[in-house]
Structure 1
């Protein structure tokens, strides 16, 4: 609203009040003059117009008129669950955390704020193309470009063991096998079943929707056991991309039978199945886990140090692998999203990786709906619930307060206001970005942000404040601001990703808490 209009309202009212009093002196005491009625009507209309013209009435009138305690009560936020499994034992912890937060469960065809889909929901619900602003879905349309095992493993990323799609790449595979006569391979399907190490001559080339992948033969072993590590990953946005990893712990799963002597017929030596060996049953890890209270990650690191090796070299590789993989598939997801009205989606995945004897990390797969059931291993319940707690807080699903009604205007503004998003003020002023937004230097100045861009920065700011045990890996953190080159960092990024990266860089320059 224009401030001059606001200032003139009291002056006009005062003048009209004086005129009304002079008129009243000339009227009989038991009558009401025409002028006061006209003034009252004019004031009423003026007030209505003023309120209508206000962009956000709550900012001018930062209170709510509450007549009774019942007015404080707002309907609780709701969640629905979509899945094809006849049981929900794999969702026990999801339900527990949401119930603890004060969310109320409803059916998938009712009005919900969160849809938790264990199975891919977008082929079953056309309505998800028009998700409302107050709704959120736990998958991105097109996330299969990351979680489809054939698509991912045949992407030829350098940290993926070499793989070939069958039967389409049969000749390429045979050429590679001839050039690497000592190589062994595993044949896989999307279902991840019946995996077994095979020689090239034993590969079934007629099997559709499968691939063959080179088997890494020198794994790092713990007490003789091969293992994999599962890192929980959350994508909160694409175009611009924002991705996080859970740092509170890592899921370690050990093969139940020792790797040596190697026997391809005994898959329990090299394939992690449902009946894997948990950390607390591995002899050299048991003391660190049971006696000294370590996590799965920290007890593994203790074991690595016992072997006179440095575990710190593992985790930068893990972050690089996950960041690079998601960035490589982002454009495919963006293309699918073009037919969706809003982008109110996030995705919790688990990236499974393994380590060779030199502590080099390889990617195996990404899981769309990672197992969050502790039915088989009860001690895992804490891990799953802490993961969910961090994920939900990150994406804006948080515990309700005792009085969740809005008493003091828009609560989001208490968390994120213009001043929290404004960066590089000197540049904005130097280029007169408040007068014209035609210059590229103005694209992060508040006056030049579109509504959707403002919302992107608002979400990024709130994620930073509520990340709990989540660590941002894209845009990646800045560990040394002096040596960090923003031009090099953004050189090969899409326009939107470079824009978001520059905003985080600007925040880091003025507040070290945004750097790492």
Structure 2
């Protein structure tokens, strides 16, 4: 089999090029015959209009329904009406300014602290923490006020987890969770402190704290931290199962939006042509139960030290092998110098046994990776997922605050 070729625009993270080469793929910024197209942009662009019928891109249409804080909160609020226990992993939230009155009433009860996050904020910018009974002056900014969850501490310090999740396909849905990641620590201990450096785990923010000595103080590998949790009596195998479940439930809550968007913007032509690596920010509460805080559209793939570099490069390399197992297709494209039109491609692809070849290549990649396939799965867990997805897919698709979706997507129409 020939090597898969990769075309790319602006690549922000050097780990991307390292990982793609590590996967055995080639890189060329303007390669028009490349099967894999890579983008690093955070902007909500049209990544799909100019795709050739055989090309695969590392972007999923309308992924921001998961990654913008307000649309995600709204989607979870709707499905949790039917599955309140299953979705208790998402903190109680108020969408502002629409729920300003309800939020202010809750503050007056003086029972909970809240963290207010701008809808499109990142890097810890714009975050406010309101203490129990504190004051909040409403404004018109689109944001989420989320109940503050007391977290499990290590060395008397708050931390959360950055988990890397590969959605390798939308139709059919395939989800993989990487069995490593980052534990992100505050730079000040939690005891008796209400500073931003004792409550917000964002690495970029904590790097600005002049008291920080080493980057390893704030960014450590999960594989280094979990043995310490195990020594505290936490069952790590069960913890991973809980993490897997909250990730799957988060994604299938938005399944209908993603499926309709794929049909409208990037329809399957023999095989799915879009995938994406997401960064799930997960907090462990005092009982080591995972809570999804937010989902990152383009998680930072920078690295600050050797172990982090090796983990991220391996993760990306594993992901592209699983999500783009089409060396057989690349070989065919390379052998036909005069190119293909969509009709010629479809006729060839339907007779070329692509699905079987790709599945074999994908399974080889998966078996040699550090990813765990978490959807689909066998057993009773799948029964739960089926019930939730059936309900999520049957619910009316409202227009979501903070995000613009084509009318065809909201109505479920096709191109």
Residue 328 of structure 1 and its aligned partner are, at CA, apart by 0.5
How many pairs were matched up?
347
Partners of 2:192 and 2:382 in 1: CA distance: 50
> What is residue 61 of structure 2 aligned with on the other side?
141
> What is residue 82 of structure 1 aligned with on the other side?
9
- Which of these residues, 352, 355, 373, is aligned with residue 281 of structure 2? 352
- Which of these residues, 365, 370, 387, is aligned with residue 469 of structure 1? 370
> What is residue 373 of structure 1 aligned with on the other side?
302
Higher-Rg member (1/2): 1
- Please state whether the residue corresponding to 1:379 is helix, strand or coil: helix
Residues 1:168 and 2:69 are matched in the alignment: no
Partners of 1:486 and 1:166 in 2: CA distance: 35
Q: Deviations over 1:334-383 (max 9, x none)?
A: 12222234340001111010111111111111111111111x34431111
Residue 166 of structure 1 and its aligned partner are, at CA, apart by 0.9
Partners of 2:331 and 2:384 in 1: CA distance: 47
Gaps of 5+ in 1: 1-71, 286-294, 410-449, 479-483, 498-516
More strand by share: 2
* Residues 228 and 355, structure 1, Cα contact 8 Å, conserved in 2: yes
More helix by share: 1
Q: Deviations over 1:91-150 (max 9, x none)?
A: 211112223424131238x5532221112576345xx23633431100101111111122
> What is residue 242 of structure 2 aligned with on the other side?
317
> What is residue 390 of structure 1 aligned with on the other side?
318
Question: When the two structures are superposed, what TM-score results if normalisation uses the length of structure 1?
Answer: 0.60
Q: How does 1:124-273 map to 2 (within 5 A)?
A: 124=46, 128-129=48-49, 131-154=51-74, 155-156=76-77, 157-178=87-108, 180-189=109-118, 190-192=120-122, 193-199=125-131, 201-216=134-149, 218-247=150-179, 249-263=180-194, 266-273=195-202
Partners of 1:338 and 1:360 in 2: CA distance: 36
* Residues 77 and 104, structure 1, Cα contact 8 Å, conserved in 2: no
> What is residue 15 of structure 1 aligned with on the other side?
none
Larger relative CO (CA 8 A, sep 6+): 1 or 2? 2
Partners of 1:183 and 1:405 in 2: CA distance: 59
* Residues 106 and 112, structure 1, Cα contact 8 Å, conserved in 2: no
Gaps of 5+ in 2: 78-86, 336-348, 394-415
* Compared CA separation, residues 113 and 122, structure 1 to 2 (3 A): farther
* Compared CA separation, residues 477 and 177, structure 1 to 2 (3 A): farther
* Compared CA separation, residues 250 and 172, structure 1 to 2 (3 A): same
* Residues 252 and 388, structure 2, Cα contact 8 Å, conserved in 1: no
- Please state whether the residue corresponding to 2:251 is helix, strand or coil: helix
Q: CA RMSD in A?
A: 3.5
* Residues 36 and 324, structure 2, Cα contact 8 Å, conserved in 1: no
Partners of 1:96 and 1:77 in 2: CA distance: 15
> What is residue 96 of structure 1 aligned with on the other side?
18
